[in-house]
Amino acid sequence: MTAAEHYEQAMRRALMLSGNGPTLGVNPRVGCVLLRPDGQVVAEGWHRGAGTPHAEVDALSKVDGRAEGLTAVVTLEPCNHTGRTGPCTEALIEAGIARVVYAVSDPGKSSGGGSERMREAGIDVIDGVLAAEVTEVIRPWLIATSLQRPFVTVKWASSLDGRAAAADGSSRWITGTASRQRVHEQRSQHDAIVVGTGTVFADDPSLTARGDAGELMASQPIPVVIGERPIPTNAQLRNHPAGLIETRSRNVAAILDDLFGRGIRRVFVEGGPTIASEFVRLRLVDEITVYLGPVLLGGSRTAIGDLGVTDIAGGHRLTITAVESLGDDLLITARPTTSLSRE
Ligand SMILES: NC(=O)c1ccc[n+]([C@@H]2O[C@H](COP(=O)([O-])OP(=O)(O)OC[C@H]3O[C@@H](n4cnc5c(N)ncnc54)[C@H](OP(=O)(O)O)[C@@H]3O)[C@@H](O)[C@H]2O)c1
């Protein structure tokens, strides 16, 4: 095997190890493999969450003595700052690492710049190995870190003709049990769930993440209500196990900033149509998941309202990344085709 093949193989392993880390919270999932010059694996590590050793330090801790002359293959550019743990660059330099191979640069304002620091210290640095694969896995963290706002997934369930509710406002249920179970899984993979006051008044949702038997899942995202009206004192949301953020505001961008400041990195927007449209109109959407139920409702209650699009050229173009059958429903996952901006 060539050195490049060893690095790619080790990067696949590092990517797999990174999957042991947590999906939620402020830190990314990172994996690291230490190689001898002949390509043999000496040690492996991964990051287990904020406040615990980073993947590189975890791997180094498993090497007897110094790691002189070894190559560190790591999914993310080693960090260059002191947060709750020390900079990984200094740990690698101190350990005598000869070469660092990484996939994706760290876009963090304070944590980035690790490659320059390591090059200055005489470490050979190679970047971009399996960059596309790693980017896909940590896309939410990369987007949140570079835009300094949470990664936003907007979800809705609609009839095949794009309606989110019937004329009387009832929307339970447009889709079947398999879809609704998937929504619960999606909730548990986010830090926060956002709804508008309209949905709270219409549906009084509990917004907990529940398993097949109705039991609470281990991970419960905090519900966030957008809108100026106070929600009823007896709203189910007031008993949510993760608490409740009642914003009493319509300013979506400012609310996202506030959530980011609270350490929230993944937000799941569950509607209703007014709120979902506002996120789309402001281009504050990174992923869209649409559950399509095989029913026609007609009428004016469209899943997305006016976006200010006046001609076809101004449409919000999407790239569909997955289409799945769930019972009788379809789940379509898409993302904006154009690059994102921080408006
Ligand atoms: N099919 C689905 O996936 C789905 C999901 C959820 C809900 N629904 C259905 O949707 C219906 C409720 O729809 P909805 O559109 O009224 O609910 P909504 O989007 O949850 O809430 C709308 C409310 O949010 C507030 N708001 C916050 N930011 C705003 C902004 N930037 N611009 C305008 N208003 C803002 C306003 O109330 P304030 O006066 O308080 O500011 C507004 O009345 C119900 O029939 C429900 O069953 C369907």
- Looking at the fold, whether 109 and 130 belong to one and the same domain comes out as yes
Residue 341 lies in a domain: no
Task: Tell me the mean pLDDT in the region 18-36.
Answer: 92
> Domain boundary at 109, 144, 179, which?
144
How confident is the model at residue 112, as a pLDDT? 77
Whether residue 83 sits in one domain with residue 152 = no
How far apart are alpha carbons 197 and 98 in whole angstroms? 56
Euclidean distance between CA atoms 215 and 180, whole angstroms: 14
Whether 252 and 194 map to the same domain: the answer is yes
Query: What CA–CA distance (Å, rounded) separates 30 from 36?
Result: 20
Indicate which atom in ligand 1 lies nearest the CA of residue 275.
Answer: 19
- How close is the Cα of 85 to the center of ligand 1, in Å? 42
- CA-to-CA dists, residue 264 to 77, 154, 191, 192, 268, angstroms: 22, 16, 6, 7, 11
Give the per-residue pLDDT at 142.
95
Q: What is the pLDDT of residue 341?
A: 45
Query: Quick one: which of 26, 30, 258 has its CA closest to 145?
Result: 26
Q: Which atom of ligand 1 is nearest to the CA of 200?
A: 20
Q: Are residues 88 and 221 in the same domain?
A: no
Neighbours of 184 (CB within 10 A): 16
Residue 342 lies in a domain: no
| Catalytic site residue from 5, 8, 44, 56 | 56
Say if CB 245 and CB 239 are below 8 A apart: no
pLDDT score, position 339:
54
Query: pLDDT digit string (tens) for 284-330?
Result: 999 999 999 999 999 999 999 999 999 999 999 999 999 999 999 99
CATH number at 29 reads 3.40.140.10
For the chain, what is the domain count?
Answer: 2
Q: Is 62 in the pocket of ligand 1 (CB under 6 A)?
A: no
4: confidence class by pLDDT, cuts 50, 70, 90: very high
Let me know whether 159 and 96 are in one domain. Answer: no
Q: What pTM, to 2 d.p., does this model score?
A: 0.92
Classify residue 302: in a domain, yes or no.
yes
Ligand 1 pocket member 226 (CB < 6 A): yes
**Model pLDDT for residues 248-288, shown as the tens digit of each residue:** 999 999 999 999 999 999 999 998 999 999 999 999 999 99
**DSSP H helical segments within the chain, as ranges?**
3-18, 55-60, 88-95, 114-120, 131-137, 139-147, 177-188, 197-203, 252-261, 273-281
Pocket residue to mutate for ligand 1, from 158, 187, 197, 249, most atoms within 8 A of Cβ: 197
127, 179: one domain: no
Report CA torsion sign: 8, 13, 18, 19: positive
Are β-strands 318-326 and 329-336 bridged in parallel, bridged antiparallel, or unpaired? antiparallel
SS3 156: strand
Domain residues for the domain of 42 are: 3-144
Q: What angle do CA 93, 74, 12 make, to 5 degrees?
A: 155
**Same-domain check for residues 139 and 161:** no
* Whether residue 117 sits in one domain with residue 32: yes
331 lines ligand 1 (CB under 6 A): no
Query: Can 44 be counted among the known catalytic residues?
Result: no
DSSP letter for 188, please: H
Mutate to test the pocket of ligand 1, among 158, 163, 174, 226 (most ligand atoms within 8 A of CB): 226
- Look-up: residue for tokens 């959407």? 285
pLDDT(343) > 60: no
* Region class of 86: left (phi > 0), else alpha (psi between -120 and 50), else beta: beta
Q: Which atom of ligand 1 is nearest to the CA of 251?
A: 31
For residue 175, report the distance from its CA to the centre of ligand 1, in Å: 19
Question: Residue 196 forms beta bridges with which residues?
Answer: 226
Q: Residue 88's pLDDT band (boundaries 50, 70, 90)?
A: very high
Chain segment 101-113, per-residue pLDDT in tens: 999 999 987 777 8
One-letter amino acid at 152 equals: V
Domain-ending residue, one of 95, 117, 144: 144
- Mutation probe of ligand 1 site: the residue of 199, 284, 290 with most atoms within 8 A of C-beta: 199
Is residue 343 in a domain?
no
> Are 227 and 108 members of one domain?
no
Of 144, 168, 183, the residue at which a domain comes to its end is 144
Query: Are 261 and 126 members of one domain?
Result: no
Measured CA to CA, the distance from residue 41 to residue 18 in angstroms comes to 16
Specify whether the CB–CB gap between 211 and 231 falls below 8 A: no
Q: 243 in the Ramachandran plot: left (φ > 0), alpha (ψ -120 to 50) or beta?
A: left
Q: Whose CA is nearest to atom 26 of ligand 1?
A: 227
CATH of the domain at 303: 3.40.430.10
